[in-house]
Amino acid sequence: MKKKLKIGLVGFGVVGQGLIDVLKESPALDAEVIKICVKNKKERTLPESIFCYSADELINDDNINLIVELISDSQEAYRIVTSALKKGKNVVSANKKMIAENLAELIQLQEQYGVSLLYEASACGSIPVIRNLEEYYDNDLLLSVTGILNGSSNYILSKIFDHNKGYNESLKEAQDLGFAEADPSFDVDGFDSLFKLVILTVHSFGTIVNPKDVLNYGISNISDFDIQYAKEKGYKIKLVGQVEKLEQNKISLFVLPRLVRKDKYIYSVEDEFNGVVIKGLAYDKQFMFGKGAGAHPTGSAVLSDITATGNDYKYEYKKKNNYRDFFYEQSGELEIYLRYKSKEDLAHFNFISISEEYTGSKYNYKIGLIKLKDLITIKDKLRQMDIFIAVTRKTLNY
Ligand code: HSE
């Protein structure tokens, strides 16, 4: 470690407290939290004198050489992070929405001001997936990154499938345990996974993708009918994000629930754990597994970034800067399970072919091929319909 790290911490929620706890367990690290910026005065686990109420106070404090941003408001996070970078300070952030939506600018600011922005905690909690994609998988062999990227959804699905609990009860537990975001639809509707996937994509293939152009659909509409269907066929339902290399310099990405067979690595990823399958030429598949949410697991990822800035580590964005360009393509087909009630809802789906269908008194379903592009076109309407979609056994067909 070259220099003492004098940290200005912004945010003292679940992850902020987690960071303070894991820092206490790391006496070898020459780092000190100088000030913590919070929104309001209230009784906390640390003395009042360490708190302040303006992030600018930290950014403008010459004694502070590292800003650690751990708040959930992505707009305020953007303001704080960009101001700190422009002030020449290194920054560690866990705000996936802010990072995914502003990647191009954040990369440019790091170059322009010669500073480092690290964000391992923004994707998959304690799993060091970003730094591994950047450093170990720094070649042309990578084919796909597929995984359970959201701890809260996975916790809910685990409780539903393994403990026969209800959706609402399980969501409440995920909130009480500090896994869920302030607005849980961020978790259960696949936005959190989407932002994480966009971040993983730049470190996997060098492509900056606008999250608005990517299909994300989550588990908030799952019904007992869908759960029973999956169980009868020997599947579990998991919320999965995937980025995959296609032919001719193209990549595809999407977030969708998936019917997962027992022989898949992600089948056994339970509770708030995340699991990422990295596929490549020469090495086939590798699997990274670990806690994806919670105070201490996420705090440990922030701690690792803090240490890394102390060692002058920066993301080099090697795929983006040194390799051929990959372009995001909305082409291709998916085989999906669509559970629906009304003909009006069904009319939104242009199936290319149907392999299985069922009509019942309460619900109906169809399994068939559909164009990814067609789903992207109606992605904002999907959540309003009385339907549920999951990718079935077969995935992309290009
Ligand atoms: N709400 C997030 C999750 C927290 O459940 O995965 C970690 O990013």
Q: What is the DSSP-derived secondary structure letter of residue 312? A: T
Residues of the chain with pLDDT under 50: 397-398
Cβ of 335 less than 6 Å from ligand 1:
no
Distance (angstroms) between ligand 1 centre and the Cα of 127 equals 12
The residue whose CB lies within 8 Å of the most ligand 1 atoms, and thus the one to mutate among 97, 120, 150, 171, is 150
Report the run of H or E that residue 191 belongs to, with start and end.
Answer: helix 191-205
Type of residue found at 6: K
Going through 70-222 in order, the beta strands assigned E by DSSP cover 90-93, 117-118, 142-148, 215-216
Cβ of 151 less than 6 Å from ligand 1:
yes
Closest alpha carbon to 261 in 238, 235, 242: 235
Distance CA 126, CA 120 (A): 8
Distance (angstroms) between ligand 1 centre and the Cα of 355 equals 35
Distance CA 224, CA 342 (A): 17
Cβ of 180 less than 6 Å from ligand 1:
yes
What per-residue confidence (pLDDT) applies to 69?
98
Type of residue found at 209: V
The residue whose CB lies within 8 Å of the most ligand 1 atoms, and thus the one to mutate among 95, 153, 181, 216, is 181
Distance (angstroms) between ligand 1 centre and the Cα of 21 equals 19
What per-residue confidence (pLDDT) applies to 398?
46
CB 106 within 8 A of CB 199: no
Going through the chain in order, the beta strands assigned E by DSSP cover 5-10, 31-37, 51-52, 66-69, 90-93, 117-118, 142-148, 215-216, 236-245, 250-260, 273-280, 284-291, 327-328, 333-340, 353-359, 364-371, 388-391
| 81-92 as b/e: b if 16+ CB within 10 A | bbbbbebebbbb
In this prediction the pTM is 0.97
Q: Whose CA is nearest to atom 1 of ligand 1?
A: 180
